[in-house]
Amino acid sequence: MVFHFPGVKFDLNTIKKYDTSTPRYTSYPPATQLSEAFTESDFHAAIATSNQRKSPLSLYFHIPFCQSACYFCGCNVVISNNKNIAKPYLDYLVRDIKKTASLIDPERKVNQIHWGGGTPNYLSLEQVEFLWKSINQYFTINSTAEISIEINPHYVDKNYIFSLREIGFNRISFGVQDFNPQVQVAVNRVQPEEMLFDVMSWSKKAKFESVNVDLIYGLPYQTLQSFQQTIKKTIELDPDRIAVFNFAYVPWIKPVQKNILQDALPSPQEKLEILKMTIEELTSSQYLFIGMDHFAKPDDELAIAQRNSTLKRNFQGYTTQGQTELFGFGSTSISMLEDTYTQNYKELRDYYRAIDAGVLPTSKGIKLSWDDMIRRDVIMGIMSHLALHKQDIEQKYHISFDEYFSLELEQLKFLEKDGLVKLSTHHISITEIGRLLLRNIAVIFDARTITQEKKFSRAI
Ligand SMILES: C[S@@+](CC[C@H](N)C(=O)[O-])C[C@H]1O[C@@H](n2cnc3c(N)ncnc32)[C@H](O)[C@@H]1O
Sequence-distant (≥ 6) Cβ neighbours of residue 338 within 8 angstroms: 49, 50, 53, 55, 325
Residue 181 is assigned to a structural domain of this protein: yes
Q: Do 405 and 319 share a structural domain?
A: no
According to the model, what pLDDT value does residue 374 have?
97
pTM for the structure as a whole: 0.94
Max alpha carbon distance in the chain (Å)?
61
CATH of the domain at 210: 3.80.30.20
Examine the domain organization and report whether 320 and 390 are in the same domain.
Answer: no
Question: In terms of domains, do 242 and 163 share one?
Answer: yes
Domain presence at residue 6:
no
Residue 101 sits in the same domain as residue 50: yes
Residue 325 and residue 336 in contact, taking contact as beta carbons nearer than 8 Å: yes
What's the confidence (pLDDT) of residue 9?
67
Q: Is residue 180 part of a domain?
A: yes
C-beta neighbour count of 106 within 10 angstroms: 11
Q: Is 11 within a domain? A: no
User: Residue 438 maps to which CATH number?
Assistant: 1.10.10.920
* Rounded average pLDDT over 81-93: 95
Q: For ligand 1, what atom is nearest to the CA of residue 153?
A: 9
98 and 240 part of one domain = yes
Any atom of ligand 1 within 6 Å of the Cβ of 434: no
Domain contains 336? no
Residue 112's nearest CA partner among 151, 150, 144, 64 is 144
For residue 338, being part of any structural domain is answered with no
C-alpha–C-alpha distance, residues 420 and 434, integer Å? 4
Given 297, 329, 361, the domain boundary residue is 329
283 with 430, same domain: the answer is: no
Give strand pairing partners of 329: 61
177 lines ligand 1 (CB under 6 A): yes
**Torsion sign across C-alpha atoms 114, 118, 121, 124:** negative
Residues 138 and 266 occupy one common structural domain: yes
| Claim to verify: residue 234 and residue 295 sit in the same structural domain | yes
Q: Which domain holds residue 132?
A: 22-329
Counting ligand 1 atoms within 8 A of each CB, the residue from 24, 63, 71, 72 with the most, and so the one to mutate, is 72
The total domain count for the chain is 2
Domain end marker among 301, 329, 357? 329
In sequence order, which residues have a C-beta less than 8 Å from that of residue 199 and are 6 or more positions away? 151, 153, 156, 161, 174
- pLDDT over threshold 60, residue 92: yes
Determine which of 10-24, 153-167, 274-288, 348-362 has the lowest per-residue pLDDT on average: 10-24
Same domain, 93 and 198: yes
Q: Would you say residue 13 lies in a domain? A: no
* pLDDT tens-digit series, residues 142-201: 999 999 999 999 999 999 999 999 999 999 999 999 999 999 999 999 999 999 999 999
Position 452 scores a pLDDT of: 53
Residue 407 forms part of a structural domain: yes
Cα–Cα dist 195/125, whole Å: 20
From the CB of 152, is ligand 1 less than 6 Å away?
Answer: yes
Q: Is the CB of 291 under 6 A from ligand 1?
A: no
